[in-house]
Structure 1
């Protein structure tokens, strides 16, 4: 098809058919002849180049005729040899603008430029077309029609079963096994390929070997190096100037081919392998070591590091907009998705989110500090979200295999940013506490949770209530857990004031019936002792005895892990079932750096427990906690509080009980003012967010918003739904069938295949197990992996990469399983792998 016919049939006639009227503005009179050729019985062409008055009359007459019922005309084309009007003033002066308003105009946008039309008409010769326009901005139709000389690529088209030059190039880069075999058995294609490379890319093939391997090697190197050069903002290093490169006119084809190779799941692995090899062959990292900016397209893996350093620099300069720009620009990079790199980029994303959240909250803080009530509302609605992002940031930091270099700067900078905000908020909170005391009047106290939320439900005969006591769940975690339980039933989350001091023996006793009246804190041998009425509550068993004495056979209790794992029998007489877990508190006490990544295990157990409770006929679940916590990760020398003068006992390094005098570093108040009844007359707490011993990461026991504001979650369990939906079948793959991992952050491909037409979006966990059934790897949070629960949502037809974080100490054979988060049953065939680490 000639360029003239293309414009007539593919551009003008479709618009006339759609809009009825088309005004063609043509100051160069390029389209005059082809417009006149369209004149026909039912298509009126008005040529305004001869007489303005006559053409105006003819156009008006044609428009009137076209507007009649059952008109004989099917379209009107008005040809105007002038520039199209742009402004309203220009349109008012143009007598033919009204016809464009009735229909459409040409040209309309960049896509109607003559160059764009020629590229659409002769897509296989885009490079030649661009070269022609570079030399002559206004070539004639005959010049464009002569491009390619009418030649095609008959052998290549027949052998590879594709038509366009673009598709031929793509297949030559990554042929299927069948196509590769065809290329090996025939040599006639090489001559055509040589001409195609010259025509489309400007590549003069150097190899004299007529084999696919030799041709593909040269084509890959030429293509990837060309993209690298096109994207490089600075001058090419002298050492690389002799490497063959495509002309600028081939830029669009080069970028399109590279994008297809990187983004197509079927060819991505080939691209990675080729790019790594070409980078090594050309010694690019060493030659380009002085270049800081490589542009926006990460052709080679070494460019990803430069981009990462740009993002780190933006973070260090508090330039969040610049940081976001770099992250957004490179988040789809094929190199960012690699396991080791992914962990560092996930850290940067989390750092950006935390820095932005801190900036936003700091800006709003002054509007919410007038009273303690307004500050608490700001905390529960805003600051708790900052705490969530901070926890996820610490989780991302814990996922790094190597936290040296730029990563350590990211961690240090971000922790400092968070700490500045929280120190400011804490200072305001302490000043309010000094005046108002604790707990806060008009707010739910933990000591009233049982009496107000649990006991009333037990008054109804036959109503079964589960009371989950989860150790160390700060408010933001409660909000996240509630989101995760949303499908289980009607959810209500409210804040409560934890009992001071915020430690487990006190906090768990506070959650018993009548705690508001009966709980006291006594001194036994200079140690804190919780007393309930006259009964000491030094152990879990003693606390449970309080409930057993009150409810008898209506009461039972057990640990969360046992309830979920062992399927214990719950008697029908049980109407109050207490389920306990101290896993999170134990994890934070033992290893606070790794603990944020372990929270998901407790959340999974809680969710599974609620579905089991539903099946056992329980109608209500109340989830409560003893205390929250603060992650003191921005530790600096001198971050310690000296004790005030007096006689004190130390409670978990964050609170002192006894007698003494306050000072500039310590707030000393009467015990009753902080809700503590018993033998201690005074309480001392640090005014700053520090402890009485240096080096503490995990803060609880004291009075900060994070330690003392806790969630209470009420779940009204929804009956099980019977639906037609079914589970997806899940397939796991690793590196096109490879059976050995060489990194502790391997990327597993998770593919969803529907088992039937009714398959729905499904939740799953990805975990690795050794031969003894121990978990040795989990899905790394971030992207499709929920940070709080590690749950992945998978839709029918999805194929997503999931980074597996392996246990640092594990080596050997293992299997990767896709599991139902509730039932823990396998979804599809496990993937058998083995470690093969080089170090």
Structure 2
């Protein structure tokens, strides 16, 4: 059995684990022998006795040696047999203050008191230890005399193969068939159990209660209700005051035992079963469900609903610190093993992130409001895009979860309203600046300059360049793509000014060679047509022919992104290509035709772009440039009053949801300027756009034609492509997928949770891995994917976990699918499969 000396030594090692210097103050000289156990080749111990000057010099010399240790593998422990100075004057005069400031100190707070450490060593004896301390501080020998193992309950310990009191009670509460049989065949353990339970929990088991199941049930009810009552800040409802529970002196062990039951994997299903049974028997939700504060522990499942109400109340009252604190506490909850609950708290955290993001940006604007168009661009580049990211992530999780009406839905509505109002206000201020100064910003890169500045130069240097034309790539999405792709490639993101109006036929033409020299928009047959150096480029065929002529037919090719992804070979057919245009309009098509699914499918669109970069790198391309015609705005719903009338009596050659080109008079709900004032040269008289986030068409949730930072500040992504590194056996990733502990199973819900584990014994493997978790049917069609949860990155859809960790991941199965499918954990970039799991559905839609 462990002794208090070993426990204290382990505790000191834990305290010093992430510190190179530890100072131990020990006026009682209790810890000297314990401190000596820390000394080793990597850890120098200096004991300070009467010769303080010599000891200080030795300590400072040792500290200097630590500074020269480039490996950071050595430590210094300083033992001082006196109390720690606390008042400022004593701290200044103390000769060892430099050592204290250089590292950690022990004891540090009430949790390091001798009493607290003894109770932590033997939580089951917390009450007895407190009584001992009331008569003076006990010796190590006296504390060790309280250790109860096989000597205190030899029969029960032997039958259950238990080590210590806590383990013995956990095993008794979670009996399996084998242990149940052993206990039924040997009645001699009952007296031992009565003694242990009375000593550690204060519960007197009835002498006449002999049925094993009834004993366990009684003990479960007493234990769980004791934890619930001890954690409850408010007064217990009158109907429950008569329910037996542990008194205060036993609370520490109650907390410790319940935490062990929730943490131990083998005990979790049994804990959940008895917790739900006890809550139902006592009617806890009926009696306590309306209480405002249930404490911080999660003894029973119904408490999650109460915590969610507490979160919502704080968020709706703008107490975001409290709301964030509740979310952080819930991330450790036993009950979020359930996929839906985990998703709800993930969504709650996303709401807080968005609300906090808007609050932070309001302070930024208050402290340093932009005074020019350039200032607004810098605001978006450095700050604003983060709120766009937070909004997008929240909507992705909300779309995945589709929460029912209730407290969480109320917070989502508040977050959406707050975000929209803020974005609308910023847009109006940005528009006012553009009306005053014009567009684009002098000295800033324009979309029209992209080819000549970012594509032509590396090509002329001899690099093979992939030039992506991405229809609707917002700045925040580009930053997300860069974060993912930078794990392999060299990536940078810069901002450029869009060519107005931000519609595809104009914006894509602006990405062509020489667009920065002479770009005009003329009116042909009543429609605006982009023109470069006198050449009309009304549509994709003309744009492709034009760039092909500039580069050279034998050096150029154009393909769809889907062709790169689907290619079976190593793109050998492109070996002659020096400049490759890769087109994709997936994002814009989704936004225009099916906006309800847009945000949920954005992670997949970004993964496709990253996969294409990887394939092109392996095919010999050295550089990639990703450019776009416009950004976009997307909202979950359309608010009343968002649609406005077009100016009356106008003669428009282009009518879009957000913009008009032609001749006409303004009204108070629009911005109307001379076309040349906003960079539109040619045969267009005026440029008109809706003020704020309004549209000229009712019911529009996705739009990109207007004048907002989200629509007009465009990203340019430069990528230095790097081929796949050669793999070695040492970096192989080993994962295990199971469902209810088995490598195959039958699911009865659309959102089951699967277990993923990564062995911790591979010291040469990665410390952290990320992967996609997707299910495919027999034809290879995707029918399931990881659902929102604390371990799922909503921006990429990837699951992240640490080496040696076991996690539960909820998956979402398509509603119309039934049958068998294979769940695969795979590398998001290469598609390498790490683990598979065969599942079969058994549910009715």
TM-score interval for Structure 1 and Structure 2 normalised by the shorter chain: 0.7 to 0.9
Instruction: Report which stretch shifted further, 631-640 or 557-566.
Output: 631-640
Hey, what does 2:169 align to over in structure 1? 169
Q: 1:448, 1:6 → 2: CA distance?
A: 72
Q: Say if 2:503 is the partner of 1:500.
A: no
Q: 2:626 aligns with which of 623, 627, 631?
A: 623
Per-residue deviation, residues 85-131 of structure 1 (Å, max 9, x unmatched): 97589999xxxxxxxxxxxx999965787755764786653344457
Q: 2:84, 2:572 → 1: CA distance?
A: 83
Per-residue deviation, residues 658-700 of structure 1 (Å, max 9, x unmatched): 1111232111111122222333211111222211122211121
Instruction: Report which stretch shifted further, 780-789 or 107-116.
Output: 107-116
Q: 2:588 aligns with which of 585, 601, 605?
A: 585
Q: Residues 756 and 287 from structure 1, CA distance in 2 versus in 1: closer, same or farther, beyond 3 angstroms?
A: closer
Q: 1:303 deviation in Å? A: 0.6
Q: 1:789, 1:121 → 2: CA distance?
A: 43
Contact 2:122 2:147 (C-alpha < 8 Å) held by counterparts: no
1:714 match: secondary structure: strand
Hey, what does 1:784 align to over in structure 2? 791
Contact 2:820 2:840 (C-alpha < 8 Å) held by counterparts: yes
Q: Residues 814 and 575 from structure 1, CA distance in 2 versus in 1: closer, same or farther, beyond 3 angstroms?
A: same
Q: 1:638 aligns with which of 626, 638, 641?
A: 641
Q: 2:670 aligns with which of 649, 662, 666?
A: 666
Per-residue deviation, residues 51-93 of structure 1 (Å, max 9, x unmatched): xxxxxxxxxxx9479989xxxxxxxx9999xx9997589999x
Q: 1:607 aligns with which of 610, 625, 632?
A: 610
Hey, what does 1:727 align to over in structure 2? 732
Q: 1:764 deviation in Å? A: 1.5
Q: 1:111, 1:415 → 2: CA distance?
A: 43
Contact 1:207 1:218 (C-alpha < 8 Å) held by counterparts: no
TM-score by length of 1: 0.84
Q: 1:216, 1:786 → 2: CA distance?
A: 41
Hey, what does 1:692 align to over in structure 2? 696
Q: 1:602, 1:700 → 2: CA distance?
A: 18
Q: Residues 172 and 506 from structure 1, CA distance in 2 versus in 1: closer, same or farther, beyond 3 angstroms?
A: same
Q: 1:182 deviation in Å? A: 3.1
Instruction: Report which stretch shifted further, 299-308 or 737-746.
Output: 737-746
Q: 2:772, 2:106 → 1: CA distance?
A: 55
Hey, what does 1:748 align to over in structure 2? 754
Q: 2:350, 2:319 → 1: CA distance?
A: 15
Instruction: Report which stretch shifted further, 746-755 or 402-411.
Output: 746-755
Q: Residues 755 and 143 from structure 1, CA distance in 2 versus in 1: closer, same or farther, beyond 3 angstroms?
A: closer
Q: 2:120, 2:348 → 1: CA distance?
A: 41
Q: 2:638, 2:326 → 1: CA distance?
A: 29
Q: 1:657, 1:739 → 2: CA distance?
A: 60
Contact 1:469 1:625 (C-alpha < 8 Å) held by counterparts: yes
1:408 match: secondary structure: helix
Q: 1:573 deviation in Å? A: 1.8
Q: Say if 2:296 is the partner of 1:292.
A: no
Q: 1:67, 1:755 → 2: CA distance?
A: 45
Q: 1:346, 1:735 → 2: CA distance?
A: 23
Q: Which runs of 5+ in 1 are unaligned?
A: 26-30, 36-61, 69-76, 93-104
Instruction: Report which stretch shifted further, 356-365 or 261-270.
Output: 261-270
Hey, what does 1:225 align to over in structure 2? 225
Q: 1:633 deviation in Å? A: 3.9
Q: 1:790 deviation in Å? A: 1.6
Q: Residues 613 and 660 from structure 1, CA distance in 2 versus in 1: closer, same or farther, beyond 3 angstroms?
A: same
Q: Which runs of 5+ in 2 are unaligned?
A: 13-21, 33-48, 56-78, 93-104
Q: 2:633, 2:53 → 1: CA distance?
A: 76
Q: 1:213 deviation in Å? A: 3.2
Per-residue deviation, residues 9-62 of structure 1 (Å, max 9, x unmatched): 989xx9xxx99996449xxxxx9xxx9xxxxxxxxxxxxxxxxxxxxxxxxxx9
Q: Residues 467 and 106 from structure 1, CA distance in 2 versus in 1: closer, same or farther, beyond 3 angstroms?
A: closer
Q: 1:705 deviation in Å? A: 0.5
Q: 1:9, 1:675 → 2: CA distance?
A: 73
Q: 1:772 deviation in Å? A: 2.9
Q: 1:494, 1:85 → 2: CA distance?
A: 53
Contact 2:760 2:805 (C-alpha < 8 Å) held by counterparts: no
Q: Say if 2:371 is the partner of 1:365.
A: no
Q: Say if 2:481 is the partner of 1:481.
A: yes
1:829 match: secondary structure: strand
Q: 2:726, 2:166 → 1: CA distance?
A: 51
Hey, what does 2:745 align to over in structure 1? 739
Q: 2:666, 2:627 → 1: CA distance?
A: 33
Q: Residues 512 and 432 from structure 1, CA distance in 2 versus in 1: closer, same or farther, beyond 3 angstroms?
A: same
Q: 2:814, 2:142 → 1: CA distance?
A: 65
After superposition, where does 1:326-345 map in structure 2 within 5 Å?
Answer: 326-345=326-345
Q: 1:594 aligns with which of 593, 597, 610?
A: 597
Contact 1:728 1:753 (C-alpha < 8 Å) held by counterparts: no
After superposition, where does 1:542-561 map in structure 2 within 5 Å?
Answer: 542-550=542-550, 551-561=552-562
Q: 1:443 deviation in Å? A: 1.1
2:487 match: secondary structure: helix
Contact 1:813 1:835 (C-alpha < 8 Å) held by counterparts: no
Contact 1:769 1:777 (C-alpha < 8 Å) held by counterparts: yes
Contact 1:665 1:687 (C-alpha < 8 Å) held by counterparts: yes
Hey, what does 1:805 align to over in structure 2? 812
Per-residue deviation, residues 623-661 of structure 1 (Å, max 9, x unmatched): 111110112346421122222232224533100111111
Q: 2:26, 2:456 → 1: CA distance?
A: 78
Hey, what does 1:423 align to over in structure 2? 424
Hey, what does 1:679 align to over in structure 2? 683
Contact 1:269 1:735 (C-alpha < 8 Å) held by counterparts: no
TM-score by length of 2: 0.83
Per-residue deviation, residues 131-173 of structure 1 (Å, max 9, x unmatched): 787xx76699999999899971111222223332122112212
Q: Residues 265 and 539 from structure 1, CA distance in 2 versus in 1: closer, same or farther, beyond 3 angstroms?
A: farther
Contact 2:342 2:788 (C-alpha < 8 Å) held by counterparts: no
Contact 1:520 1:677 (C-alpha < 8 Å) held by counterparts: yes
Contact 1:728 1:796 (C-alpha < 8 Å) held by counterparts: no
Hey, what does 2:566 align to over in structure 1? 565
Hey, what does 2:829 align to over in structure 1? 822
Q: 1:215 deviation in Å? A: 2.6
Q: Residues 656 and 828 from structure 1, CA distance in 2 versus in 1: closer, same or farther, beyond 3 angstroms?
A: same
Q: 1:832 deviation in Å? A: 2.1
After superposition, where does 1:337-486 map in structure 2 within 5 Å?
Answer: 337-366=337-366, 367-461=368-462, 463-486=463-486
1:816 match: secondary structure: strand
Q: 1:771 aligns with which of 770, 773, 778?
A: 778
Q: Residues 755 and 563 from structure 1, CA distance in 2 versus in 1: closer, same or farther, beyond 3 angstroms?
A: farther
Hey, what does 1:702 align to over in structure 2? 706
Q: Residues 260 and 521 from structure 1, CA distance in 2 versus in 1: closer, same or farther, beyond 3 angstroms?
A: same
Q: Say if 2:719 is the partner of 1:715.
A: yes
Q: Residues 421 and 242 from structure 1, CA distance in 2 versus in 1: closer, same or farther, beyond 3 angstroms?
A: same
Q: Residues 572 and 321 from structure 1, CA distance in 2 versus in 1: closer, same or farther, beyond 3 angstroms?
A: closer
1:753 match: secondary structure: coil
Instruction: Report which stretch shifted further, 168-177 or 658-667.
Output: 168-177
1:165 match: secondary structure: helix
Q: 1:383 deviation in Å? A: 0.4
Q: 1:581 deviation in Å? A: 1.1
Q: 2:662, 2:436 → 1: CA distance?
A: 20
Q: Say if 2:308 is the partner of 1:315.
A: no
Per-residue deviation, residues 228-248 of structure 1 (Å, max 9, x unmatched): 111111222222233221222
